[in-house]
Amino acid sequence: MIKTGLEKRAGGTVARITIDNPAKLNIFTPDTLKDFRKAVEEIQGQSVRAIVITGAGEKAFIGGADLGTLGSLDPASAREFIGLIHDACAAVRDCPVPVIARINGWCLGAGLELAASCDLRIAVDTANFGMPEVRLGIPSVVEAALLPRLVGAGRARWLVMTGETIDAKEALAWGLIEKVFKTEIFDSEVNKTIDNLLAGDPEAMRAQKRLCKLWEEAPLATSIRASIDEFARSYEFGEPAKRVKAFRQARKARH
């Protein structure tokens, strides 16, 4: 089950998407994956500035894919199911606004692939991370391909080949997540990050997300050319001039 909600903040509207099946660690079933992708796509049409993805309860972000489903697949249905996981992750990567993974517990398999697809990952200090698929006779695939970009080739191999889990402290040291906080300040720190994102110009933020995705996928020369185009385009409606003027005035007032 997927729950969605909108929150009005000083800088704009933020959407929250919750995978809501805490009794089963918020696992991904085929229906949940379809509903999740639909929720992400529908939210984009509601003028939101950012999206926060999390799992219900305190035990899990997403505990992976449904084992009953994994145990019943054949080659054809396996291709279809993994396509659903990819579609869910691609919806996040293609979303034009920043997406934060609020990792409140176990983050395994397809859950870690989804987290890797988000722009920023913030975890509670009790979270654990792993890619245990090889222990079930299958490789880690689709957006697991993002892991070497986050943690490097050797550590990505460690995750997908050993199937071992790592805790939040180690995940932070590896670069798998950007921030980790104790439970009592977790949500206040997530909200600080949201407010930092909302402080940016909406169109500049969309351009930045497009570039970040391109930087991961394209050759350097292509990325630089596109960056130049985005920089020039940002001046079409005068927003940089207004913001630079306001910044200089505020700095002058402080001194």
Taking only the tens place, the pLDDT of each residue in 2-14 is 999 999 999 999 9
Crossing angle between the packed helical segments 30-43 and 75-94, to the nearest 10 degrees: 20
Q: How far apart are CA 33 and CA 86, in angstroms?
A: 9
64: nearest Cα among 100, 32, 37, 98 = 32
Q: Can 184 be counted among the known catalytic residues?
A: no
pLDDT of residue 255 exceeding 80, the answer is no
Catalytic residue among 41, 80, 133, 217: 133
Query: If pLDDT is split at 50, 70 and 90, which confidence band does 252 have?
Result: confident
Among the listed ranges 20-29, 57-66, 231-240, which one has the minimum average pLDDT value? Answer: 231-240
| Token code pair at residue 240 | 């940089």
Least confident of 144-153, 174-183, 221-230, 244-253: 244-253
Tell me the per-residue pLDDT of 75-119, one tens digit each, with 9 for 90 and over: 999 999 999 999 999 999 999 999 999 999 999 999 999 999 999
In this structure, are strands 2-9 and 12-19 parallel, antiparallel, or unpaired? antiparallel
Mean pLDDT of 215-223: 95
pTM: 0.94
Q: What three-state secondary structure class fits 65?
A: strand
Could you give the C-alpha distances from 191 to 19, 183, 202, 212, in angstroms and in order?
Answer: 19, 14, 18, 22
pLDDT at 51: 98
Annotated catalytic residue within 7, 42, 80, 113: 113
Give the C-alpha distances (Å, rounded to integers) separating 42 from 4, 51, 162, 209, 248: 10, 12, 38, 19, 39
Contact 95, 140 (CB under 8 A): no
Is 113 among the catalytic positions?
yes
